[in-house]
Structures are given as structure tokens and as C-alpha cells.
Amino acid sequence: MSSTEELIGRADVNDVEAILAITNTDVGEVAHAVADNADAIFTWDYSLARPALRKLYEKAKTGQWNATKDLPWETPVDQEAIVVANNDQAIARGLSMEDSYFIGSPVEKWGDKEWVEFGIQQQNWTLSQFLHGEQGALLCTAKIVETVPWYDAKLYASTQVMDEARHVEVFSRYLDEKLSGHYPINAHLRLLLDDIVNDSRWDMTYLGMQIMVEGLALAAFGFMHQMTTEPLLKQLLRYVMSDEARHVAFGVLSLKEVYDGMTAKELRERQEFAFEAAVRMRDRFLSQEVRDRMGVEPAKIIPYVLADPTRGMFQQMLFSKIVPNCKKLGLLDAADGWLRARFTEIGVIQFEDWVDTGEEYGVYGLDRETPAA
């Protein structure tokens, strides 16, 4: 059994100094190697043993889309105008603080010009992290094809490899052609991806990627889809979300069977992994790289960011897919409710009774007759 400090390197999950101390020291690297400690598993049992997974595989085959032909890449994107429109949306929905909130902070003298530039950089940063996360999903799903012992799961995972390649393609292209700059991978996200790839247990790859990373991505894409006024990005996200919902459902359907047969000690290890992943993903949304680029010392502005009630609501909503899926898998209350206590501590337990993705993924299907909206 591990303590919070042993899991995430600090006793207090909200220790800003410790969070900001985790940085990329090699931002110029082009290749990053991680040991993949797992055996490739062949199976000679080709029977249809898991009909739910085969149904998901059939949906994946019919749900394939072509990023080159199915998205209107000719759409002009005025990034500054989009940021202004998005800011107006945030104000209208009560998701933006008044200027008076930042009195005494390093940004109190910012005017419209600085806030628009911040919005532009934040969009560049967010889409860059989506891109890096999708490459992580690409590698992890390829690993699942190798390591999962079930025939039906290997078939479905192979379709997800194609999905993830397409997601890397579209986010990279959107950044290159429509936005104004890339950001390197956030250090917290990289640590999480390294841990997932490095773990030798095949179900940990599922838990880390299919449930945690993909679950948060599905919620984040949904939030951006609602907020953005840019039609190409809105359609791109709608297509990606249709894939991501299947991916999370794949994790839920597969792990439910596995976890039902695990001991309390084994489940506690999975709970700890899920909590560590949740904190790593939460920490990355401080986007300190953007504040550095804007000439603002992160340590001086982050306390204002953390205390912003509108940001807390957004951050909590990102876990709206993760918590019910962990409950469906039996992870919330296993081992004397350890994960329930941790999710309560970071303020996300209220989502436990929301619908899990194993039940709702069908609502994300694409309508081929009309453009995705």
C-alpha cells in the first residue's frame, strides 16, 4: 500500500510549489524512449467468446472516417476572432472572472490585447497536448493488441490503432495549418504516459489509457466542442469524440470481467494507479508553459488560477467520464473505499452516478447523411 507522497511525490495534492517543480528539461528532444516491459501474447482460441467486444468491433469498422476527405480543411480560421468569440461565450456562460478578480496579480494591468494573445497561446497549448496525448494512445493501443490475451479484444484494439493514427493526423494538421504554434508535451502528461507504457501488466495499459486518459479526453473534447465557434474544429472534435467514446467503452467492457476476479490487494494497486493518473492529468491543466511564454512567473499567478471558481468547475467536469467508469469497474469502493476517499479529496466524487461510457457510447455515433455538428 502506497502513501499519497509515494504515489505522486508530495503529501498534499494541492502543493503548488511541488506541482510547478515538475518541468521538461529537454524540450528540444525529438525522440523519447520508454521501456515497454511486456510480453506479446498469441492466442489460438478464435471463438466468439465476448459478444459485446465483437459488437464494438463491428461499430468500429463502420465508424471509420477519412480525415482528408471528410473534414472541410478549406475552412478559413481567424484565430484572433475565434478567441474573442470564445471569450464572449465564456462570459455569457459564467465561466470567466471579472478583471477585478486579478487585482494584485501579475496580470492586473493586462488589457484586451494581452488577454487575446493569452487565448491564442492557450489554444495552441491545448491542441498541442491533445496531439501528444493521441500519440500516447496510439502507442498504448498497439501495445494492447500485443498483450491482451483475448481474440475479440485484439480485433477491436487493432481498429483503435487506426483511430489514434487518424487523431494524431488531424490535430497535427490543424495545428500546422490553422493555428500559430506548437508546444512541447507537458511534463505531467509525459510522466503519466511513461508510466502507462512502462507497466508490464496488460490491464494497467487499459486502465491508464482507455479509462483515465481517454475518459478525460472525451470530456475535454466535449467541453471544447460546446464552447468553440470555429466550424472546422467543431466538426473535427465531433468525429474524434465518436471514436473516443468507443475507446472508453472498450476499456469498461474489458476490465469489468478482469476486475470481478481480482483480490482486494490487486484492486488496491489499480486504485492507486487510477488516483495517480487523475492527479497527473489535473496538474497538467495549469498550463504553466503558456504563462512562461506570456512573461508571467507561474508561481505568482497559479494561486489565483487555483482559487478561480470557474476553473474549478471546468476542471471537475473533466472527470465526469472517469468517476462513473471507475465505479462501474468496482474501483471506487474496493479495498475499503480507498479511491472513493481520494476522489472526494480532489473534489470529483459527485460524478459517480453519471452514466458510464459502457452504456452511453452509442450517442456519439456519426450521422453520415449530414455534417457532424
What is the domain partition of the chain in residue ranges? 56-63+78-100+108-364
Q: Which pLDDT tens digit goes with each residue over 236-272?
A: 999 999 999 999 999 999 999 999 999 999 999 999 9
Tell if the pTM clears 0.75, that is, is over it.
yes
Residue 57: burial class (beta carbons within 10 Å; 0-12, 13-18, 19+): buried
Q: Are 325 and 356 in contact (CB under 8 A)?
A: yes
CA neighbor of 371 nearest in space, from 72, 168, 62: 72
Q: Which pLDDT tens digit goes with each residue over 263-318?
A: 999 999 999 999 999 999 888 888 899 999 999 998 999 888 878 777 766 777 78
Percent of the chain at pLDDT exceeding 90: 69
Q: Are 250 and 170 in contact (CB under 8 A)?
A: no
Q: Are 115 and 333 in contact (CB under 8 A)?
A: no
Fold classification of 56-63+78-100+108-364 (topology level)? Ferritin (1.20.1260)
d(CA 198, CA 262): 22
Q: What is the pLDDT of residue 77?
A: 97
Q: What is the pLDDT of residue 360?
A: 64
Q: What is the pLDDT of residue 314?
A: 72
Q: What is the mean pLDDT of residues 26-44?
A: 90
The beta strand positions in the chain, using DSSP E, are none
Q: What is the pLDDT of residue 370?
A: 38
Q: What is the mean pLDDT of residues 209-234?
A: 92
117 backbone dihedrals φ, ψ, rounded to 5°: -65, -40
Residue 97: burial class (beta carbons within 10 Å; 0-12, 13-18, 19+): middle
364 has pLDDT over 70: no
Q: What residue has cell string 515497454?
A: 36
Please compute Rg for the chain using Cα positions: 20
Could you tell me which residue, 87 or 178, shows the higher pLDDT?
Answer: 178
230 has pLDDT over 80: yes
Q: What is the pLDDT of residue 373?
A: 40
Q: What is the mean pLDDT of residues 221-226?
A: 91
- At 88, list the grid cell: 464572449
Percent of the chain at pLDDT exceeding 70: 94
Q: How confident is the model at residue 46 (pLDDT cuts 50, 70, 90)?
A: very high
